[in-house]
Each structure stands twice: as structure tokens, then as C-alpha cells.
Structure 1
Amino acid sequence: MDTKSTFKGTIISIQPRIRLTRSFDEASHTYLGYAITLEGEIDTQHTTFSIGIGKAAHAKHQFKVNDVISGECVPVPDPDTEPTEYYKVSKLKLITRSATITNTSSPWELVPPELEVYRERGHRRLAARTYEVFCSSCMWGARMPVEIIVDNWNPRGRKKYRFETFCYGPLNCKLYKAGPNRKVEGRNGMVYVEEDWVDAMNVEHRGEDE
């Protein structure tokens, strides 16, 4: 039986909770819900921690940065495949709705939209350093766990894991930096380099301010 932890804290980030699977030049997404980073207490210990909630919970509560929430959660069994430390949140409550006027420009700290909006918008790669410094609280940022299927002819074979950061935000965001092209290991030592045109294709349907 899962051991539940009790938490209460102030939201310092809420972003889409998405898992990315790569197989050489192919990529697919699994939309899990939302990743919330909190500053507060978990099992009476004061710390910064992260929880994963589903889309229904977010649709009900419409959380945003500086809201104070509480509940119970369970440690994720495999940190390589989840963007958060805890999940299976229950007894979720909104304690205090933030009255603070949050950023309405980059980094955007509003109520994140539905997951379908992220899927429709598409993302660009985002430099890890830029994410850490500027974008970790932005609703358009995302830090995804990535599962790499090394041999695309044998999906059940060897796999590798890492994290990648992405931006779903407006194309004219002044904080945006792409960072280096990402490389994906394949069978027999082959390496796929994800070129800039992949990002361009992902967002070609959007205008500069979208």
C-alpha cells in the first residue's frame, strides 16, 4: 500500500505535466496533467517540493502561482518517468486564493490552460539554463521526463532517460533561448540530431505574438 504524505504550501510554479518518448527521429507525448512546485511543508518538514495532479483536479480548482493548497500525496515510484516528486494527490484543498497580481507578461504566471491548448500550440526546445533562471514559474514552460528507446526496431530493448525543457509560449518572448540542438542515440551507435526546422514546423501555425 502506498504511504501517503501530508502537505501544505504556496504554489511557486504550475506547468503542464507531460512525458516525452523518443525513438531516434520520432517523438510522442503523454499528457499526464499538471506539475505543481510548492514551497511549504510535507510531513512537517519545510522544503520545496513538487506534486503532479490530473487535468480534472486543475479544471476544478484553477490553480495559479501564489495560491496556498494542501492535501495528501504519494512518492512517484520511478523519478525518471515523472516530472514531479509526488503524485496520486488526494484530499486536495485550496486554502487561500492568491490576491497578488501575477505576471501578465513573461514569465506568465496565470492559470494554465487546458492540456489540449498545449498540444495544439506545439513547443520549441528551451535552453535548460534559461528555463532554470527565467521560465520555471511560467505557465508556458515545461520540464519533461524523456524516455529514449535506443533500438527503434526493438521497443522493449534498452532505454535511456533524461529531462528536457520546452517552451509553449509566444514566439516573440524576449526571454527565450533555444540552446543546443538535441541528440538522440539510436541503434548501432547512430545519433539523430534534432535540427531547428523541427521546432519551426511545430509552431509554424502560430503568429509571433501567439
Structure 2
Amino acid sequence: MTKADIEKVMWLGRVVAVQPRIRLMRSFDERHHSYQGYVLCVDGTIGDDPGEFLIAVGKAAHEKHRFQEGMEVNGLAVPAPDPRLETAGFYKASSLKVLKDTEGKPSAGPPFLGVPPDLETYRSRGHRRLDARTYEAKCTSCIWGCRMPVEMIIDHWNPSKKRYRFETFCYGPKNCSLYRAGPTRKVPGRKGMSYTEEDWGDEDATSHRGPDD
């Protein structure tokens, strides 16, 4: 038995939400996204601990199982080593099995449920910033919501100098009744400078979409 096998934890439960797993890298006024897969919020048991927990799954696993709210699923996973870089507490999910599929059709929303689209759809749609309190209160179950770990390079000349935080975003329809942008976000830079990400950035990223898309 390898060390990786020893670290794996068995989990089981009902999926209560599925959202994209996306990491954001910032360097002052520049940003780059890494589209890594999906995050399952599961209500069940992981190891010996009952409750809700987050499991990161890969793109291929989602293509195979088409995860959505209401499924009963089990599998193995490994504790994420750096909580600054992962929304989920567990990743490297394996031995995945769908024990029971979702019954009935999802509600029209918002929040929007059902099977999340492929990662390229998220990339092509673009996102708008989403108020963190609105996300926590109304959007954690929505397939268009996303809580991203953010890695910020503070100094171009010293890229090892970094800070970390989480930011929330919306990939959903512009006319969603639950949407609230919240305050603009500031990105720290070298020598005490900062960059404010204004509204025009979100408008530009989603300008190709209509109000109901």
C-alpha cells in the first residue's frame, strides 16, 4: 500500500451543490484563470465525520458522471494540502460511484440547478464579481456561482512575494434577480500601491452576452 493510498479518505453522501473549480492568479492589473474541474458540496460522511464537506473532482469525472444536486455519490479523496489554494477541503477524488441519480427536473431558478456545463462554457461566458455575502446567502447552490482561491503576486521583481484570499464571482444571466455586485476589489502591489478593479472590467468580460444570458 502506497502513502497516497493511506491518505485517501472514504466519503459518502448527497450532493447539495456543484460549482466550477477555478483558481485565479492576480498580479496588480493582470489576472489569469486556471479552469481545473468542479467542486461538489456533499451532505454526508467523510471518514468518521458527518456533515457537509467539499470535494474537488476533475473535468473527466464530471463528463462521465454529470454531477448535479440531488445525486447520492461515494468515493475516495485526499485532504487538500494547502487551504489557500483550494476551495474544497479534499481533492484527487477517485473510485467515484453514483449510488442514486437525481429525481425530477431542477427548478427554473434562480438559483440555477441541474448539470453544470463544461469548463469551456464558463471560460467563454466570462464572469462578474459577486458580493461575498450574497454568495453565501443565496448562491452557494447555483451552478453559475463560483468561489475562487486567489493567489496575488505583490511584486513583479520578486514573484515569490505573494498573498492569498478568496473571491466570489457569477457566470450566470445578467438579469438574475439575486445578483449583487458588492464593492469593487483592490489588488495590492509593490511599495504600498494598489489597483482597483472597476465595473468596466466585468462589463467588458460579459459584453458579448445579452441581459437574459
Structure 1 and Structure 2 fold alike (TM over 0.5): yes
Cα offset, 1:26, TM superposition:
0.3
In the alignment, structure 1 residue 4 sits paired with structure 2 residue 11: no
Q: Which runs of 5+ in 2 are unaligned?
A: none
Post-superposition CA distance 1:135-185 (Å, at most 9, x none): 000000000000000002332x21000000000000000100000000000
Select 2:60's aligned residue among 35, 56, 59: 56
What residue is the counterpart of 1:183 in the other structure? 186
Matches within 5 A, 1:30-179: 30-155=34-159, 157-179=160-182
Give the match's secondary structure for 1:152: coil
Distance 2:157 2:28 in 1: 10
Give the match's secondary structure for 2:158: coil
How many residue pairs get matched? Answer: 209
What residue is the counterpart of 2:29 in the other structure? 25
Distance 1:76 1:98 in 2: 28
Give the match's secondary structure for 1:107: coil
Post-superposition CA distance 1:89-131 (Å, at most 9, x none): 1100000001043222210011000000000000000000000
Give the percent of matched residue pairs that are identical in Structure 1 and Structure 2. Answer: 53
- Using the size of structure 1 for normalisation, the TM-score is 0.98
2:204 maps to a residue whose letter is M
CA RMSD of aligned residues (A): 0.8
1:97 maps to a residue whose letter is D
Distance 1:121 1:48 in 2: 29
Distance 1:100 1:8 in 2: 22
Q: Which runs of 5+ in 1 are unaligned?
A: none
- Contact 1:66–1:100 (CA<8 Å) still a contact in 2? no
- Using the size of structure 2 for normalisation, the TM-score is 0.96
Distance 1:104 1:72 in 2: 32
- Contact 1:104–1:110 (CA<8 Å) still a contact in 2? no
